[in-house]
Amino acid sequence: MLEIIGLVLALSGALLCLTAAIGLLRFRDVPSRLHAATKPQVLGLALIAAGIAVALQSWTVAAFLVPIVLIQLAVAPLAAHMVGRQAYRNGRIDRDTLVVDELD
C-alpha cells in the first residue's frame, strides 16, 4: 500500500515538473517564465522526494532527501530573483507591462 502512495506522490511531482517545463516553452516574457520555472518545480521536487521516502520506507533515505528539498526551497526563489533582476537590467523585460516598477 505504501508503494502505491509513493508512486502517486512521485507521479504527481513528475507531472508538476512537466508543467513547469511546458510553461518555460509556452510563456513569452521573462517574469512569466521564472514563475513557471520556480513554483511548480520546487513543489514537484518535494512530491517526488516524499514519494521516494514513502515507497522505500527508510528513515535514512528520508533524512537524505529532506536537506535536498530544503535547499531547493531556499535557492530557487533567490535564483529566480537574480535572473529576473538581470533580465530587467539588460532590457529583456517590457517595462510598459509592469504594474509596479520598483527597480527603476
* Residue 104 maps to a domain: no
**Per-residue model confidence (pLDDT) at position 104:** 73
**Per-residue model confidence (pLDDT) at position 80:** 92
* Residue 36 maps to a domain: yes
What share of the chain in percent tops pLDDT 70? 100
Look at the block and give the residue holding cell 518545480. 41
* Residue 98 maps to a domain: no
Burial of 65 (0-12, 13-18, 19+ CB in 10 A): buried
Q: Quick check: 103 pLDDT over 90? A: no
Instruction: Determine the average pLDDT of the residues in 82-90.
Output: 90
Contact residues for 69 (Cβ-Cβ < 8 A; gap 6+)? 45, 46, 49
pLDDT in tens, 46-76: 999 999 999 999 999 999 999 999 999 999 9
Structural domains in the chain (count):
1
* Whole-angstrom distance, CA of residue 53 vs CA of residue 74: 21
pLDDT in tens, 14-36: 999 999 999 999 998 888 899 88
Sign of CA dihedral 22, 26, 28, 29: negative
